[in-house]
Structure 1
Amino acid sequence: MRQSVRMELTPRAVFDLARSTVETAVSVPGRVLGLLEAAESVVRRADDLVTRTEGVLAETEALVARASAVTATAEVVTADVGELSRTSRELVDVYAPLAQRAQPLAARFVEELTPQEVEAAVRLVDQLPELARHMAEDVLPILATLDRVGPDIHQLLDVVNDMRQAILGIPGFAFMRRRGEEKEDRGET
């Protein structure tokens, strides 16, 4: 059971209590005002924080967009590099044996090639168009007629042989020939 405690209040106690209550009541608006000012400061700081957070969020969104663009570009570059790597590997597989076989020849070629030979080769390459033109316009047409020259040369040889026999048949030709040979040997003309 509960016992109730009863206190008797004296007028002085009531007065002190009233005074304390009034002082408390008078101080409450000041404290409330202090609390309001503190709350207002917190709200201002929170507002600043929200503003800065929105800025950071905007920068983060821009950074994410740039990172996405960089990622997309990197994916394209990676695909290109992969294709280039495959193509390079195929070329190396095809040409590596050829290069290994050609290496001794190329080394010898480089070791033995002189600057004068390089200059001569360059001059020759410079003259190739003119050489090709002469071949096409001058030499090849002559070569095309060689099948007709053979019989002509045989006929000419037959005529020369006939003339030789005719000259040998001339009386005294052997004497004249020996005399000519003797003059040649002495240096007379």
Structure 2
Amino acid sequence: MSLPGPRAVVSWAVETATTVISIPGRVFNLLTAAERAVARANELVDRTDAVVTSAEAAVVHAQKVTRAAEEVVEATKPMLRFVAELSAHEVEAAIKLVDELPKLAEHMTRDIMPILATMGRVGPDIHELLDVAKDVRQAILGIPGFEYMRRRGENKELES
């Protein structure tokens, strides 16, 4: 084996020096690329975190809505049985009744409630009227000839 010549050694030395000098630049480029990749990964993590937080809030809201809907369904179950037994005619009648409720409430307040307030006095008044009617009946029965007139009226009713 022969030794390389001075030119080959110099050429080899230049190549080695060039390679050695370019290594830090290549390492720097690799580090820069790695830093950009890490920065993009951090951005993705931040965006993913925001999406997850938003999704968690949406799930919590959906759970609240579901609970509220379940409460409404539970509260309306007795009404479902009632509604299932209604005919179309009954539903229309109920709608008409609801339409009339304001008038009904006004008449109740203005006309019927004052009468109901006096109901405590009606009982004694009716008893007094009955007593007077009994007295009048007894007086009429005491009129001479009243029995004859009553029979005559009954006979005429039978003839017609």
TM-score, normalization by structure 2: 0.65
Task: Tell me, yes or no, if structure 1 residue 31 matches structure 2 residue 12.
Answer: yes
Q: Which of the residues 135, 146, 155 maps onto 1:162? A: 135
Task: Tell me, yes or no, if structure 1 residue 123 matches structure 2 residue 96.
Answer: yes
Deviations 1:83-137 (A, max 9, x none): 96xxx6xx99xxxxxx7xxx7x767535532222233333333433433333233
Q: Number of matched residues?
A: 151
Match of 1:144 in 2: 117
CA RMSD in angstroms, aligned pairs only: 3.9
Paired with 1:156 and 1:108, the residues of 2 have a C-alpha distance of: 50
Percent of aligned positions that are identical: 47
2:15 corresponds to which letter in structure 1? G
List aligned pairs for 1:63-142, cutoff 5 A: 63-69=44-50, 109-142=82-115
Q: Which of the residues 135, 143, 147 maps onto 1:174? A: 147
Match of 1:56 in 2: 37
> Relative to 1, partners in 2 of residues 1:61 and 1:148: Cα closer, same or farther, differing over 3 Å?
same
Deviations 1:135-160 (A, max 9, x none): 23322221121221222222222222
How big is the shift at 1:163? 2.1
1:179 corresponds to which letter in structure 2? R
How big is the shift at 1:39? 4.4
Match of 1:96 in 2: none
Unaligned runs of 5+ in 2: none
Unaligned runs of 5+ in 1: 1-19, 93-98
Paired with 2:141 and 2:53, the residues of 1 have a C-alpha distance of: 102
**RCO higher in 1 or 2 (8 Å CA, sep ≥ 6)?**
2
TM-score, normalization by structure 1: 0.58
The 3-state SS of whatever aligns with 1:113 is: coil
Paired with 1:163 and 1:72, the residues of 2 have a C-alpha distance of: 93
Match of 1:186 in 2: 159
Structure number with bigger Rg: 1
2:126 corresponds to which letter in structure 1? I
> Relative to 1, partners in 2 of residues 1:184 and 1:134: Cα closer, same or farther, differing over 3 Å?
same
